[in-house]
């Protein structure tokens, strides 16, 4: 009973990050606002022809979600780096990778989950058929956690730099592209009545892969950034 | 305070540290056992903080090795971390959390000290009554005491402290010195840098001057 408990530390850190997000909720709403704004501006820019909108909707929604995810990335570790909390995680009695996983899960709950909630509305706005909207939701549920997981590695590598923003985008964006291609394509195929099992399987594989490997890579990157 | 009474020893041999192509120190060896204090002295930029970070295992030494009870600290990893607590320049206090929540987290991430509750720890640094105040609303000295209270809620044997007295008033310094002497008297170890003259009673002190 004296030994530090791994699951307790995980839950505690998750609780802490959600609490911090709640106390800084005005900042946290930014990515969601960006997502909604970009998607609603498109019909104004390219014209409100339903057939055209239906065709470009999967791409627009997914690109906006991807950029919103990137916009929110820096907040994963930035404030913890600045106030010294990251140093404390590094020398905590728990493996750093598990703590990292808790932080990334919290980050997804804060920035990824809200996108999922508003996405059906945006789908309706762009006149997506029902089959596409449900597929859109599934791809977002599978894809946005991958964005958070991959992004965490990039942030961990750049958190020690003063202006890491550009490097972060260059590091992370190429790794986001497979998610974008498979997800947007799945939504399109669903709209055309084509099978989407292959797309979803690939997205699931990416999710499993990133969930198992990203915490280890992120922990290693943090150790480099802090030494 | 640690209540274990176990004997530990931290040994450094042939330590060297290079920063930005400049050698800060080389061939540094010492041995710190339970009940002893390691006091690092030296001018600004002489490598005191770097040495403390080496002792925490946050940075690999460029030469030499550090052993905890005969085992390399990098091989021990989190097992070594259960024995240490660190308060650095950045005090690791989360400004949007209350004093109580900050300590609750620190306790959960380390090996918790079951003899000292969070309330006890806050009382010992005279912050009880501020437990539900967001840390950003505490004064600099109070935040420092909150960071130091983290030492009390863990079972860490070795306290590694970088300028612990920064922004503390004379009362604060007295409180913290009392905590330190108590820790050392109960068989704890202390590795500390300070410009302030540290008063720790009759604790056995190893002094290392990094300027020389």
Nearest Cα of chain B lies from the Cα of A93 at a distance, in angstroms, of 5
Architecture of the domain whose range is B35-60+77-209: 3-Layer(aba) Sandwich (3.40)
pLDDT band at B77 (very low <50, low <70, confident <90, very high): confident
Least CB–CB distance from B96: residue in A20, A84, A93: A20
| Closest alpha carbon to A203 in A176, A173, A174 | A176
Instruction: Kindly identify which residue of chain A lies nearest to residue B4, measuring between CA atoms.
Output: A2
pLDDT band at A3 (very low <50, low <70, confident <90, very high): low
| Residues on chain A touching B60 (C-beta within 8 angstroms) | 227
> Between chain A and chain B, how many beta carbons pairs sit less than 8 Å apart?
88
> Which of B109, B112, B118, B138 should one mutate to test binding to chain A, selecting the residue with the greatest count of A CBs within 10 A?
B109
- Phi, psi dihedral angles at B95 (to 5 degrees): -70, -25
List, for residues B164-201, the tens digit of each pLDDT value.
Answer: 998 899 999 999 999 999 999 988 999 999 877 777 77
CB B93 within 8 A of CB B146: yes
Interchain contact, A83 vs B89, CB within 8 Å:
no
Domain ranges of chain B: 35-60+77-209
Interchain contact, A12 vs B105, CB within 8 Å:
yes
CB A158 within 8 A of CB A92: no
Indicate if the pLDDT at residue B92 is higher than 80. yes
Name residues whose C-beta falls within 8 Å of residue A36's C-beta, 6 or more positions apart in sequence: A118, A122
Question: What pLDDT does B43 receive?
Answer: 86
> Which of B78, B90, B108 should one mutate to test binding to chain A, selecting the residue with the greatest count of A CBs within 10 A?
B108
Least CB–CB distance from B58: residue in A13, A83, A91: A91
**Radius of gyration (C-alpha) of chain B in whole angstroms:** 17
Expressed as residue numbers, the domain containing A209 is: 6-226
CA distances from B199 to B144, B187, B189, B202, B204 (A): 19, 17, 15, 9, 12
Indicate if the pLDDT at residue A1 is higher than 60. no
Please state, in angstroms and rounded to a whole number, the distance separating the CA atoms of residues A173 and A71. 12
List, for residues B10-56, the tens digit of each pLDDT value.
Answer: 999 989 988 888 888 888 999 999 999 999 988 888 889 999 999 99
Nearest Cα of chain A lies from the Cα of B179 at a distance, in angstroms, of 21
pLDDT band at B1 (very low <50, low <70, confident <90, very high): very low
| Residues on chain B touching A91 (C-beta within 8 angstroms) | 56-58, 81, 84, 86
Q: Which two tokens stand for residue B12?
A: 């450094």
Is A112 contained in some domain?
yes
Question: What pLDDT does A17 receive?
Answer: 94
Question: What pLDDT does B25 receive?
Answer: 87
ipTM of the complex: 0.89
Higher pLDDT, B199 or A35: A35
Average pLDDT taken over every residue of chain A: 92
Least CB–CB distance from B109: residue in A20, A84, A92: A92
List, for residues B99-112, the tens digit of each pLDDT value.
Answer: 999 999 999 888 88
CB atoms within 10 A of CB B129: 10
| Helix (H) or strand (E) segment spanning residue B181 | helix B170-185
Question: What pLDDT does A10 receive?
Answer: 93
Residues of A with CB under 8 A from a CB of B: 1-4, 8-9, 12-13, 16, 19-20, 23-24, 82-85, 87-95, 99, 223, 226-227
Interchain contact, A83 vs B90, CB within 8 Å:
yes
List, for residues A53-94, the tens digit of each pLDDT value.
Answer: 999 999 999 999 999 999 899 889 999 999 999 999 999 989
Is A1 contained in some domain?
no
| Residues on chain A touching B93 (C-beta within 8 angstroms) | 83-84
With both helix axes pointing from N to C terminus, report the angle between A113-125 and A130-158 in degrees, rounded to the nearest 10: 140
List, for residues A110-140, the tens digit of each pLDDT value.
Answer: 999 999 999 999 999 999 999 899 999 999 9
């Amino acid at each position: 009973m004296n030994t530090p408990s791994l699951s307790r530390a995980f839950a505690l850190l998750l609780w802490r990050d959600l609490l911090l997000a709640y106390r800084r909720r005005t900042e946290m709403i930014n990515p969601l606002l960006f997502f909604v704004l970009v998607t609603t501006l498109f019909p104004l820019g390219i014209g409100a022809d339903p057939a055209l909108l239906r065709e470009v909707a999967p791409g627009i929604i997914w690109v906006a979600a991807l950029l919103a995810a990137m916009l929110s990335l820096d907040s994963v570790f930035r404030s913890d780096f600045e106030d010294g909390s990251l140093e404390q995680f590094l020398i905590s009695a728990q493996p750093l990778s598990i703590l990292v996983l808790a932080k990334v899960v919290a980050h997804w709950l804060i920035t990824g989950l809200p996108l999922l909630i508003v996405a059906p509305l945006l789908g309706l706005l762009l006149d997506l058929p029902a089959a596409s909207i449900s597929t859109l939701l599934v791809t977002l549920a599978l894809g946005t956690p991958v964005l958070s997981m991959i992004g965490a590695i990039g942030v961990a590598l750049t958190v020690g730099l003063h202006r890491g923003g550009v490097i972060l985008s260059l590091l992370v964006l190429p790794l986001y592209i497979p998610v974008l291609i498979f997800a947007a394509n799945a939504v399109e195929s669903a709209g055309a009545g084509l099978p989407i099992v292959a797309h979803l399987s690939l997205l699931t594989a990416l999710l499993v892969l990133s969930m198992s490997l990203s915490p280890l890579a992120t922990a290693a990157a943090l150790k480099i950034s802090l030494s | 305070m640690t209540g274990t009474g176990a004997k530990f020893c931290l040994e450094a041999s042939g330590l060297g540290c290079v920063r930005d192509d400049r050698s800060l120190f080389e061939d540094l060896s010492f041995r710190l056992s339970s009940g002893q204090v390691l006091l690092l002295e030296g001018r600004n930029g002489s490598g005191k903080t770097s040495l403390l970070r080496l002792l925490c295992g946050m940075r690999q030494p460029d030469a030499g090795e550090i052993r905890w009870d005969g085992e390399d600290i990098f091989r021990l990893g989190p097992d070594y971390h259960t024995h240490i607590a660190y308060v650095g320049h950045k005090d690791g206090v989360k400004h949007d959390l209350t004093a109580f929540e900050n300590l609750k987290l620190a306790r959960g991430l380390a090996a918790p000290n079951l003899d000292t509750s969070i309330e006890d720890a806050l009382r010992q640094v005279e912050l009880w009554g501020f437990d539900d105040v967001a840390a950003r609303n505490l004064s600099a000295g109070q935040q420092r005491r909150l960071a130091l209270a983290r030492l009390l809620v863990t079972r860490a044997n070795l306290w590694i402290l970088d300028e612990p007295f920064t922004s503390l008033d004379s009362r604060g310094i007295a409180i913290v010195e009392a905590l330190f002497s108590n820790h050392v008297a109960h068989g704890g170890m202390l590795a500390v840098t300070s410009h302030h003259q540290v008063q720790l009673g009759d604790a056995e002190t190893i002094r290392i001057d990094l300027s020389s």
